[in-house]
Amino acid sequence: MTAAQTAKLTLGPLLFNWSNEKRQDYYARVADEADVDTVILGETVCSKRTPFQEPHWPGLIDRLQKGGKEVVLSTLGLILSSREMNDMRETVADENLYFEANDIAVDDMLKGRPHMIGPMMNVYNEGTLARLAAGGADRVCVPVEMSGHAIGVLAGAGIMDVEVFVFGRMPLAIAARCYHSRIHKVPKSNCRYVCGLDNDGLAIDTLDGKPFLTVNGTQTMSYTVSNLAAEIPEMLKMGVKSFRISPHDVDVVRIARQFRGIIDGTADPQDLLDETDGLIDGAPNSNGFFYDEEGLKYKNAE
């Protein structure tokens, strides 16, 4: 089988704070219609959102599995308290589930069990891959700022399957401070979940009025939308095994179908690039990190 025939398409974890009704409808459609192999559930940004979602995970997992999807449960990208640490221990104690670790503490909790490494972990070289593989990790979604050359090195090392984030606003950092609550002048301890007001995050401008970043609760994201559609053929040659699209308030079924066509070689990446440019809050496509340049740039594939 060719690399394209074995390559998989992943729908990453929802990074934004959507209502349960919207979330349920979204994943029901993903289960029934989206041409993706893997769906990642779980809260990665803020533990305060988890209690509203956790009761719905068993039903969503069942629905997605019946739709033929592999289900992965992701974990917090930043653990800030002993309560959150205990919550993570309880979550990953379920050995019937396959988890994505976004924090080294969770990776340690999963030691000796198959699991994957999320893009919030700092995995930049073969030595780190080998260290994580020794603990049971068998897949990694590399950090969004990794260059194409570095991706090729990790994929070519053959230590574990490599996945690349190819569509969505890029998760850049998570902090203890909640930017959404600060903007809305409410304390983090009583935030009123104001991050839920912005389905794709809240764009932040520079002092001269140019959109620069996006805030999503405690998370800083890119304003631009990473779109590596044109680079997929090259990454297939590198040996990349999976490509991740990140959920946004857009037609995920259509976007997944287009990415699948690019992987299979039956669709022109430029069609997808043209259609998605400005689709999310008017934000342009970007791919600068892949070419070892500023992440907000877009450079035509060589």
On average, the pLDDT of the chain sits at: 96
Instruction: Report the C-alpha gap between 109 and 53 in whole angstroms.
Output: 22
The reported pLDDT for the residue numbered 216 is 98
Q: What predicted TM-score, i.e. pTM, was given to this entire model?
A: 0.96
| CA distances in angstroms from 176 to 46, 54, 156, 195, 258, listed in the order given | 9, 22, 36, 15, 37
The reported pLDDT for the residue numbered 2 is 66
CA neighbor of 200 nearest in space, from 15, 12, 8, 3: 15
Encode pLDDT of 197-238 as tens digits: 999 999 999 999 999 999 999 999 999 999 999 999 999 999
Compute the average pLDDT of residues 7-15: 98
Quick one: tokens of 149? 């050359």
| In the chain, alpha helices (H) | 3-6, 20-33, 50-53, 57-66, 82-92, 104-109, 126-134, 148-157, 179-183, 232-238, 252-264, 269-276
Encode pLDDT of 153-190 as tens digits: 999 999 999 999 999 999 999 999 999 999 999 999 89
Hey, CA dihedral for 256, 258, 5, 300, is it positive or negative?
negative
The reported pLDDT for the residue numbered 106 is 97
The reported pLDDT for the residue numbered 191 is 93
Compute the average pLDDT of residues 137-149: 98
Compute the average pLDDT of residues 42-51: 95
Q: Is the pLDDT of residue 275 over 90?
A: yes
Residue 301 pLDDT level (bands cut at 50, 70, 90): confident
Compute the average pLDDT of residues 57-84: 97
- By three-state DSSP, how is residue 74 classified? strand
**199 near 18, Cβ under 8 Å?**
yes
Compute the average pLDDT of residues 225-253: 98
Kindly state the greatest CA–CA separation across the chain.
Answer: 56
Compute the average pLDDT of residues 41-46: 97
The reported pLDDT for the residue numbered 292 is 96
Q: Is the pLDDT of residue 4 over 80?
A: no
Residue 1 pLDDT level (bands cut at 50, 70, 90): low
What fold, for 3-170+225-291?
Answer: TIM Barrel (3.20.20)
The reported pLDDT for the residue numbered 278 is 97
Residue 27, CA atoms < 13 Å, CB-side half-sphere? 29
Q: Could you state, in order of their start, the residue ranges of all structural domains in the chain?
A: 3-170+225-291
